[in-house]
Each structure stands twice: as structure tokens, then as C-alpha cells.
């Protein structure tokens, strides 16, 4: 999208103005250089300032796409009507050439647990996310694999596959239907989908229920991989992981990557996101994930801290630096102590 890049460089929206402190950290030496293979990189942006402004912000920070919440991520209740700003948002997204858009489903959704009431509520909320996705022009609805809540991995996988089949039976199936994208878990609280093997078994179980493979994709969150003890700290680690996914699942099923560094130690089953190349994973592995030749079809979304405090631009710049083989500058200590997105009610996970 070369035209959009030059447009966004000239944007004078107030949201495009960085504070001098943020600018000093560096918005990325390689901010406007394209990623290898034309792959798309965006961020989960808060909609607090408005939907149109979020799209403008995406362009201003050099993002190709964005991820958003279609509704309150921590509430069961879904609003009845679509937002008034939706038509204006869609024209802005088209004008700026943003995409593929992703909707992150509510956190409460857990299709893998044994509680019948929570299961039914999860079906309802996830069905609603898929039902509104075409109105947003969203290509993906991203949802956490969930937790078996003590019922065991086998039971959890079966339950999840039943739930996915139910949700997709009710969901739109037209050309503009969103793909349901299952996100790996860091493994805390009986989280399922912590390994490639478990993710493969989940997709197999869904396939066994007659669901076409193009309706369900996979999202790998790098911070969750790290917490779960999946090695991604070096280029060799990443290459081995990509080979394993190719052999066990098929790379075409990998639709999205949540590109985050992590604050927790490897294999700790924790999930706390950190600025890129400023956490435990580090720049080498993240750079390889962002540039691996076999992953050019994947859409990348940042879920790093401080999205509404100017660090959206900082981390977009750091990602472009990593992709260009440039080591991102060190961040000031206060940046590393910023609240993780998880501790904020409306933040992504």
C-alpha cells in the first residue's frame, strides 16, 4: 500500500502527534519500510477515542491493519445495535487500505469448560461476535482456546470442538464471513492449547465434527508460547517451531500472530506482555517470527503495553526495526513497568 504510506506520513491528526518523550525513545528507524513478502502488521487499538480515530491512529503509526473489541471484553452482555460510527469507520478503513481486520472476542468466552451455563453463555457471545464481524468488515474473530477447568485435556478438547461446531452452525457462512481463529494459551488455570500437539488435536477434533478447514484458523501469541514453554528465543528455535507446525498442522491454518514480548520467565505459564525486544523473549526470536519466509501470509498484531499512551507507535517502530535487522533502542525503566494490557479492563490478552 505505497499510496497509503505516503498519505499517513503527512497526517496531521492530533493523534499522530507524539510527545517529545515518546519521540526520544524512537518511533523506529525503519518505520515505513515494508515487511518481507508484503506481510501485514498492525496493533490492537483502543476504541475509546472513537472508531474513526482508531483507524486514523493505525495509519499514523504505520500500521497496515488493526485488531479491536466489538464490545466490552469483560462483560457477557452484548449491545443490541451496531455502533453509529460503523459506516464511517468502514469508509476510513477502506480509504487507508487497512486490513485484514480482527475482532478479539470477549475474555469470558470459554468453550472448553464443563460448566453447562458458562458453555451456553460462551456460545451466545461468540456467535454474536461472528454475526457482527461482516458489518465491521472483519476477516477474523479471534478467541482464546479456553480452559478445561479440571475436566482434563481430552474432555476439554471434545467440549471445545462441540462448542466450535455449534457456533459455526449458527454463524454467517457467506463470502464476507469471518474465520474463527483460536488462540494458544500460556497454560495458567488449566488453559488448553499450550503446545503444537494440543493445538493440532483441537483442530483435528473440530474437523472430525464436519467443520471445513477454512472456517477455523490458528493464532499464536508469542508471549503465550513463551509462558507455555515453547522455545522461540532464537532464530533456530523459531525455525524448528515453524517446521513442527508445517508438519503437524499445516502453515495455511496459521492466520494470525499476536506479536508480544513477555515479562515472565520461560515455561512459567504466566502471561504478561512486554514491549518488543524489551522482555524475556528478546529481539532475535521475535524478529525471526516477523520475517520467517514461510509466514508471509500471516497477519501480525501487537498487544504490547501502553497502546493509549503513545507506546503503540513505539512498538510499531520496534517491530519495523526488528524486521529490518536493526536492534531497537533501550527503553527507559518506567516504560518497562507500565501496566500490562491484562491489568486494564479493556486491554487485549
Measure the CA–CA gap between 118 and 60, rounded to whole angstroms. Answer: 40
> Shortest gap between Cβ of 274 and Zn ion (angstroms)?
11
Binding of Zn ion by 221 (CB under 5 A): yes
The residues with which 181 forms a beta bridge, in sequence order, are: 142, 217
Measure the CA–CA gap between 91 and 245, rounded to whole angstroms. Answer: 37
From the list 67-75, 87-95, 112-120, 253-261, the region that binds Zn ion by CB under 5 A is 253-261
Q: Which is nearer to Zn ion, 92 or 263 (CB)?
A: 263
Measure the CA–CA gap between 139 and 180, rounded to whole angstroms. Answer: 9
Q: Which is nearer to Zn ion, 56 or 193 (CB)?
A: 193
> Shortest gap between Cβ of 261 and Zn ion (angstroms)?
11
> Shortest gap between Cβ of 238 and Zn ion (angstroms)?
18
Q: Which is nearer to Zn ion, 227 or 317 (CB)?
A: 227
Q: How many residues bind Zn ion (CB under 5 A)?
A: 5
Q: Which residues are within 8 A (CB) of 246 and not within 5 positions of it... i.e. 6 or more apart?
A: 294
Binding of Zn ion by 349 (CB under 5 A): yes
Return left, alpha or beta for 97; rule: phi > 0 is left, psi -120 to 50 is alpha, else beta: left
Q: Which residues are within 8 A (CB) of 114 and not within 5 positions of it... i.e. 6 or more apart?
A: 148, 149, 150, 151, 155, 159
Binding of Zn ion by 237 (CB under 5 A): no
Binding of Zn ion by 258 (CB under 5 A): yes
From the list 58-66, 218-226, 233-241, 286-294, the region that binds Zn ion by CB under 5 A is 218-226
From the list 16-24, 33-41, 68-76, 264-272, the region that binds Zn ion by CB under 5 A is 264-272
Measure the CA–CA gap between 106 and 109, rounded to whole angstroms. Answer: 6
What length is written for the chain?
A: 349
Question: Given the rule CB under 5 A, which residues bind Zn ion?
Answer: 221, 258, 271, 303, 349
Amino acid at each position: 500500500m505505497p499510496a497509503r504510506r505516503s498519505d499517513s506520513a503527512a497526517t496531521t491528526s492530533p493523534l499522530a502527534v507524539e510527545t517529545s518523550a515518546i519521540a526520544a525513545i524512537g518511533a523506529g528507524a525503519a518505520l515505513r519500510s515494508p515487511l518481507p513478502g508484503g506481510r501485514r502488521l498492525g496493533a490492537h487499538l483502543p476504541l475509546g477515542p472513537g472508531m474513526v480515530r482508531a483507524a486514523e491512529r493505525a495509519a499514523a503509526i504505520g500500521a497496515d491493519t488493526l485488531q479491536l473489541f466489538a464490545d466490552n471484553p469483560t462483560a457477557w452482555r452484548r449491545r443490541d445495535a451496531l455502533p453509529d460510527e460503523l459506516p464511517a469507520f468502514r469508509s476510513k478503513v477502506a480509504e487507508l487500505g487497512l486490513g485484514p481486520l480482527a475482532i478479539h472476542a470477549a475474555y469470558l468466552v470459554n468453550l472448553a469448560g464443563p460448566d453447562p451455563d458458562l458453555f451456553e453463555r460462551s456460545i451466545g457471545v461468540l456467535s454474536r461476535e461472528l454475526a457482527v464481524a461482516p458489518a465491521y468488515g472483519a476477516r477474523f474473530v479471534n478467541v482464546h482456546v479456553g480452559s478445561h477447568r479440571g475436566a482434563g485435556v481430552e474432555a476439554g478438547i471434545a467440549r471445545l470442538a462441540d462448542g466450535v461446531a455449534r457456533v459455526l452452525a449458527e454463524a454467517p457462512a457467506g463470502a464476507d464471513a469471518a474465520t474463527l481463529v483460536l488462540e494458544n494459551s500460556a497454560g495458567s488455570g488449566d488453559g488448553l492449547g499450550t503446545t503444537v500437539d494440543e493445538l493440532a488435536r483441537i483442530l483435528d477434533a473440530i474437523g472430525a465434527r464436519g467443520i471445513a478447514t477454512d472456517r477455523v484458523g490458528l493464532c499464536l501469541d508469542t508471549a503465550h508460547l513463551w509462558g507455555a514453554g515453547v522455545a522461540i528465543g532464537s532464530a533456530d528455535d523459531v525455525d524448528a517451531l515453524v517446521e513442527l507446525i508445517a508438519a503437524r498442522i499445516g502453515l495455511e491454518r496459521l492466520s494470525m500472530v499476536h506479536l508480544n514480548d513477555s515479562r515472565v520467565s520461560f515455561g512459567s505459564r504466566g502471561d504478561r506482555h512486554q514491549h518488543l525486544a524489551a522482555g524475556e523473549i528478546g529481539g532475535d526470536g521475535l524478529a525471526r517470527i516477523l520475517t520467517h519466509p514461510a509466514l508471509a501470509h500471516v497477519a501480525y498484531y501487537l498487544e504490547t503495553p501502553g497502546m493509549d499512551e503513545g507506546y503503540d507507535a513505539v512498538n510499531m517502530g520496534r517491530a519495523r526495526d526488528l524486521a529490518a535487522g536493526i536492534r531497537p533502542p533501550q527503553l527507559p525503566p518506567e516504560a518497562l513497568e507500565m501496566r500490562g494490557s491484562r491489568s486494564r479492563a479493556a486491554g487485549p490478552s
